[in-house]
Structure 1
Amino acid sequence: MEICVYYEKINEDSIRINRVYSTCPTIEIPECIDGYMVREIADYCFSSKEVDLSKTILSHEIPSNYHVCSGNDVESVKLGRNVKKIGDYAFYNCRKLKEIYVPSSLMNIGSDVFMNCLRLNHIYYDCSIFSETILKQILIQITWDVEVDFIDGSIFYPEYIGGYDEVGPAHIFALNIEGEGFRMRQCFKDGKVDFDGYDACFEKLCVEESESCIFHVAILRLMMGSEQYIPYLRAHDLTSYLLLYKDICGMVGKLIDEKCIDKNELDELISKEIDLEVRTILMELKNKMFSLSSTYSFEDF
């Protein structure tokens, strides 16, 4: 989807994007505009707050059917691979923003970038899950449920609630945190995900969180090869939650390999799946991985 932007020069070869126009709520920022590398996203860039564009440059004339991409008109944003910085409040009040694609080149993130972006539940990185990133700095600003997808794995961070409670007559306050999601967000070493620390949170997570949240953590770590979560997955019938995932077929195959799903549970999953292509793949999985295959009638479709 082509976009039109206002930008300002940072130096001879780099620019900062100040405003974006398009016909679609799904935005893709190119690596270069007008021969300049897009290095930064300016303060309030996608916010509905008015910004001063008097000293900026328009990439090309805005077509009549384009509109400013801000606030509720933004649902998905993919940043170019050259972006190094996101400015303060860049996505402030983008209440319909669901996903953002950030490059491994990102080195700096401003204050309250995702304030009130409560539907933002997916972050996509263009690098390995074992790479050094600024994910920790990003997660500090997202207290609600969010899944982070890398090119070779995914990890889920549950919601947590934080606030200050008055503990003394002299207006002395103490930070009160509820939810293991906060501690999980601290599990980084030298910019890399600390999987040992993350996994150590699971026992307490099982006491505090909902079954769907626990399953989300467990299934993604299982897909990464962690055997710690197999006992939990074997002990619970969680097949209904699988219907929420895009990679359901890959997950089912892994769960069958680890004896976390039996034939009856797979039958139940097949009966609930509404996508014909996915149902067909699940049927093939059943026939391949269980010795007793079933015969399906046309009513199954």
Structure 2
Amino acid sequence: MRIHYRETESGIEIVRCFGADGNVELPAVIGGKPVTRAAAYAFSARKAQEDEDVLVCETEESRLFRQQERLLAGEAVESVRFPDTMEEIGKYIFYGCRDLRRLSFSDRLTEIGSGAFTGCRSLSRMDVRFLTGRKSCVPEILGDLWQRIDAVFYEPGSPAPAAYLVFPEHYEEAVENTPARILFTQHHGSGNNYRQCFYGKEMDYRKYDDLFYVAKAQDKTSVLSDLVFARLMYPAGLTGEAEEMYESYIREHGAKTAAYLTDTGNLAALREMSRRGLWTEAALDAAADHASAGAGTAERRSVLSFLMNEKHRLFPVRKGKYEL
């Protein structure tokens, strides 16, 4: 990758990136100085004009593949991983990045420029590394976007998530009552409620879990299933009461939940159902029938094999005895 940058009093400011891969990972250090900022419009294709007063950092790989190199901006950007040294990103940095799907950063990133995520309609996941505490810029980013976004939090030095939180989508719709000549707004999805589950930029897990009744009334099985298993499998801040609530939901909606997990190949969640003893015989039968109806891929066959094994293990067929 080739990087255009500036030197500032606090460190290095990233101006532009060039390369062949839309999955961008920025370095933590350039020229012995920490990378602390990313300039306005750094990844946007809608920048009015390019900066001329820049320095250039280039890897050996970039020199070898110069012919495939392109400006990593706009639709060319698929994911960005900021280093742990990054503290600030400029305004409209991702303006028009319609294919940006994943963003990774640490809790040292505290300053987000205005309009930073304008047009980022595909962003669906944020990976957040806690280094200094429990506060982050996640609520600011969520507040700018309406679509479903999953936020995954990591403790220092741990490769496994400490918490995996689903923030559902939300949107508003203007509806006209023609006879009364009244225009009113309808709100759809529970996402706006879930985006309020922060206190001083720190996640309030209890408030998040308390909103599940709202999600059940407004969101689809796919969202509810992902949300429930994310909380059960990565239970940071999960109380016993909330755990029981989520388990009750799975027991009550076992067939629909298992069908969704089968379609998405989420074997880990299906195993979690077994580990927690959440299967009913009817739900397991329905899940196995659903899996067998489309067992064409290797992933689907693995799911079907697991379900059949669980069926024999949990609900074995008892053979009758006959006497002559």
Indicate whether the TM-score tops 0.5.
yes
Q: 1:242 maps to what in 2?
A: 261
Contact 2:273 2:279 in 1 (8 A): yes
In 2, the alpha carbon distance for the partners of 1:184 and 1:46 equals 28
Aligned residues: 283
* 238, 256, 280: which one aligns with 2:274: 256
* Residue of structure 1 in register with 2:41 after alignment: 44
Alpha-carbon distance, 1:110 to partner: 1.2
> Who is 2:158 aligned against?
none
Match 1:215 to one of 211, 225, 228: 225
Alignment CA distance shift 1:244-1:137 (3 Å)? farther
Residue aligned with 1:64, SS: helix
- Aligned match of 1:80: 83
Counterpart selection for 2:144 from 133, 138, 141:
141
Structure with greater helix percent: 2
Structure-2 residue corresponding to 1:190: 200
The two structures have a TM-score, normalised by structure 1, of 0.82
Q: Would the alpha carbon gap of residues 277 and 217 (structure 1) be closer, same or farther in structure 2, given more than 3 Å must change?
A: closer
Q: Secondary structure at the match of 1:59?
A: strand
Larger Rg: 1 or 2? 2
Q: Give distance in 2, aligned partners of 1:175 and 1:191.
A: 29
Partner of 1:232: 249
SS at match of 2:68: coil
Root mean square deviation of aligned Cα: 3.1
Change (3 A) 1:39 1:76: same
User: Is the deviation greater in 218-227 or in 25-34?
Assistant: 218-227
Cα distance 1:284–1:178, how it changes in 2: closer, same or farther (>3 A)? closer
Distance 1:288 1:206 in 2: 28
Q: Which residue of 2 aligns with 1:131?
A: 134
Cα distance in 1, alignment partners of residues 44 and 57 from structure 2 = 20
| Distance in 2 (alpha carbons) for counterparts of 1:69 and 1:141 | 22
Cα deviation digits, residues 235-291 of structure 1 (max 9, x gap): 112123224657x23211211233333432452465346653674477357647824
Cα pair 2:139 2:198 within 8 Å, conserved: yes
- Deviation string 1:215-250 (CA, Å, 9 cap, x unpaired) is 22222222234332111111112123224657x232
Task: Find out whether 1:156 has 2:166 as its counterpart.
Answer: yes
* Cα drift, residue 136 of structure 1: 1.1
Of all paired residues, the percent bearing the same amino acid is 23
2:52 to 42, 51, 54: 54
Q: Distance in 1 between matches of 2:291 and 2:185?
A: 47
1:121-148: CA deviations, max 9, x gaps?
Answer: 11111239x9322211121112111111
Give the residue type in structure 2 aligned to 1:227: E
Within 2, Cα distance between the matches of 1:123 and 1:273? Answer: 32
Partner residue in 1 for 2:298 = 276
* From 114, 120, 123, the counterpart of 2:123: 120
Which residue matches 2:26?
A: 29
Report the alpha carbon displacement of residue 176 of structure 1 after superposing the two structures with TM: 7.3
Which letter does structure 2 place at the counterpart of 1:10? T
Q: Which residue of 2 aligns with 1:105?
A: 108
State the alpha-carbon separation in 2 of the partners of residues 154 and 260 from structure 1: 21
Equivalent position to 2:72, from 58, 69, 73: 69
TM-score for the superposition, normalised by structure 2: 0.77
1:170 counterpart residue number? none
Relative distance call for 1:243 and 1:37 in structure 2 (3 A) is: farther
Cα separation, partners in 2 of 1:244 and 1:152, compared to 1, 3 Å: farther
Query: Are the counterparts in 2 of residues 101 and 125 from structure 1 also a CA contact under 8 Å?
Result: yes
SS of aligned partner of 1:37: strand
Distance in 1, matches of 2:56 and 2:263, equals 42
Report if aligned partners of 2:168, 2:190 keep a CA contact under 8 Å in 1: yes
The structure-2 alpha-carbon separation of the partners of 1:266 and 1:29, relative to structure 1 and needing over 3 Å to count, comes to: same
Tell me which of 83, 95, 103 is aligned to 2:98: 95
Secondary structure class of the residue paired with 1:252: helix
**What are the ranges of 5 or more consecutive residues in structure 2 without an aligned counterpart?**
154-160, 176-183, 236-242, 318-324
